[in-house]
A and B are shown apart, each in its own frame.
Chain A
């Protein structure tokens, strides 16, 4: 995403900071709530699968190598090279609220694939160790999940190794599989839409991704088709020092509908791992895309060592009239999250939604939000952001509501709520509003709250432990967002929040 500068005609509003709680007794109360987690990352293990890895560093040769390893057509190599050359002219963004040591892009391994090339007929053919890993993560690549109607395209260290339900979906004309496969099987579609929402010139990380993207998901819903199941992809970062550059593209043709789930876990690492994904969504006339994320990458340990840098560009284009794109995200992992799933509301009467829960504990930092660009007439957008900060976590909401001149009757409602646990964490809100059409109605609400010692005691007195009380109160705070998640994800998200908060309250 491009920079969100504080320009003169934008309203940079209420900035809320904790960490200087001067309220006397209240401050001491929260101090009691301040014992820091020393919990090991639940998913911290490394799989022993031999990876096909190229040496670290980035050059034109590496870009060519990635492309040739993947047997890519000439046009795609050209695309990568153009992006690479553009990236060389760029500098990393510095406007966000996150702090981290400069990344040495020469130290990163840009390609790694499990050594497993042949096409598989069934799960029986998959490396048992790989399956074991999926099981440890609770990834539902098993009968139960298949029976419950989830088609899983599991991306393991950048390359898809298993896809289920593909043929059933194919009968309906739905294409759902790895990005690499789509490049070979549906080059015309990929060529048409790749970079059409997030151009390679968009930002530093998007340019990097365009040059070196490894794999990801591709999804195409033909006209009038309602995808009968939630499409789900589980990402996982594995090989040490491997940057992850996922590329996802979802196209919903006229009158179609799709709900897409993305969930992630990563094993424990001491060095920081860079993740720079790009997700592009295109919704045509009357089409609807629901994109849900539960992000649980390794957040670093309690002292802030290790953890994933998650610098993602996600954007959807509501191209057709009455189209709708909803982003729902639950972000509990990563040491740094830099992410602004956005909607370009081009079509008249199109709708954009952003529902977000971002939790930062220990030394985690999150700078996340959305951009709603109103272009078409009577376009509507809703933003609901819930930020939870614990430990020394820093949580920033950064959002832009941009109503262009022609957007007659545009409407936006934004609600940004922050919850603080303890007084060493921080919550910050940067809502930017630019309105060029006088008929637009833009509303913004923001609140900041703390979990009080008296609430905890009240719960304790009814037999509820402090940890359960905190997770109950936090879940209540997030209800508005969880409601937007598909059922099984909502349950998972609640558990995740509880795990992420364990030990954050004394």
Chain B
């Protein structure tokens, strides 16, 4: 589904990604871990198509097509979803209106019929129950004045409504209490079908207690320095990332 080869990218002249290789197949859940500043969000944004991040090398294919041929909104319409680490507020636009506009944009792209206000309300109410969000959030402006946890839930709500093929969750777990964490995990586990894939970016392993990943990767200084199964997450939890600095990165075996 997603094939990343030797991906290099920079922001404002600084090289951040220095050759990322990653292969995600349909039906898989991957976790990407790594210390702060290692380039996890950069990778997520590059995949989502943020223009500020300049791709300087490598290739990415998504469902067999060159991902970089698609604009950000086309990628979204092709089923690529990014749950933002820092969701953006849009004052003046209600959550309901925003989400229906998004859903209908995606439907239009796929040549599917538009969803009217009534059907949308039925759908979104059901999904809100799933993520434990009060209906009053429908009328609130998008992420405007939301607490950290509310923003993260709102991302999961959007994900549930838009029903992506490939979901990338960027630190959706940070700042969440245990209940919220369960809800996020629930949302992700719902997406766990043979046709879909999920990439979870996190630097704690606690979310991985609820979402058991098929593969775990460690990103450090813009490269994936180690890959393994779910046990790698536990090892990281115990040992931290300090071992990365010993220069033994290349010695670490991949999965």
Contact = CB atoms under 8 A, between A and B. Distances in A.
A236 to B, nearest CB: 33
Contacts of B84: 458, 461
Interface string A462-474: 1111101000110
B105 A473 contact: no
Contacts of B87: 458
Contact of B158 (A460, A462, A479): A462
B201 interface: no
A25 B12 CA distance: 10
Query: Chain B interface residue count: which class?
Result: 20 to 34
Interface string B94-127: 0001110111011001000000000000000000
B73 A460 contact: yes
A460 B92 contact: no
Interface stretch (A256-264, A272-280, A295-303, A447-455): A447-455
Contacts of B99: 462
A453 B73 CA distance: 14
B72 A460 contact: yes
Interface residues of A, number: 23
B31 interface: no
Choose among B52, B90, B98, B141 the residue with the greatest number of A CB atoms under 10 Å from its CB: B90
Given A453-B52, A463-B73, A465-B73, A458 B101 contact: no
Given A457-B50, A468-B101, 14 more contacts: A32-B51, A452-B88, A459-B90, A460-B49, A460-B73, A461-B73, A462-B98, A463-B102, A463-B103, A463-B105, A464-B105, A465-B105, A472-B101, A476-B90
A454 B141 CA distance: 16
Interface string A136-154: 0000000000000000000
B162 interface: yes
A477 interface: yes
B106 A463 contact: yes
A461 B75 CA distance: 8
Contacts of A477: 92
Nearest to A474: B92
Contact of B162 (A452, A455, A462, A473): A462
Contacts of A460: 49, 71-73, 76
Contacts of A459: 73, 90, 98, 102
B73 A464 contact: yes
**Is chain A's interface secondary structure helix, strand, loop, or mixed overall?**
helix
A262 B99 CA distance: 34
Interface in A423-463: 452-455, 457-463
Contact of A473 (B75, B76, B93, B158): B93
B184 interface: no
B58 to A, nearest CB: 21
Please list the 9 inter-chain residue pairs (A to B) with the smallest Cβ-Cβ separation, ordered nearest first: A476-B92, A462-B102, A460-B72, A463-B76, A463-B105, A458-B88, A463-B106, A476-B93, A460-B73
A358 B71 CA distance: 31
17 contacts: A25-B12, A455-B88, A458-B87, A458-B88, A459-B98, A460-B76, A461-B73, A462-B105, A462-B162, A463-B77, A463-B105, A463-B106, A468-B101, A473-B90, A476-B92, A477-B92, A479-B92
B156 to A, nearest CB: 13
B48 interface: yes
Contact of A461 (B12, B76, B90, B103): B76
A453 B77 CA distance: 19
A459 B71 CA distance: 12
A284 to B, nearest CB: 38
Contacts of B51: 32
Contacts of B92: 473, 476-477, 479
A464 B50 contact: no
A477 B81 CA distance: 27
A463 B88 contact: no
A463 B76 CA distance: 5
Nearest to B91: A476
B90 A455 contact: yes
Contacts of B102: 459, 462-464
Interface in B131-168: 141, 158, 162
Interface string B43-86: 00000111110000000000000000001110111000110100
Nearest to A506: B51
Interface string A27-39: 0010010000000
Contacts of A457: 48, 50, 72, 88
Nearest to B86: A454
Contact of B72 (A455, A461, A468, A472): A461
Choose among A452, A472, A479 the residue with the greatest number of B CB atoms under 10 Å from its CB: A472
A454 B98 CA distance: 15
A32 B12 CA distance: 15
Contacts of B109: 463
Nearest to A466: B73
B82 A461 contact: yes
Contacts of B141: 476
Contacts of B12: 25
Given A32-B51, A457-B50, A472-B101, A462 B90 contact: no
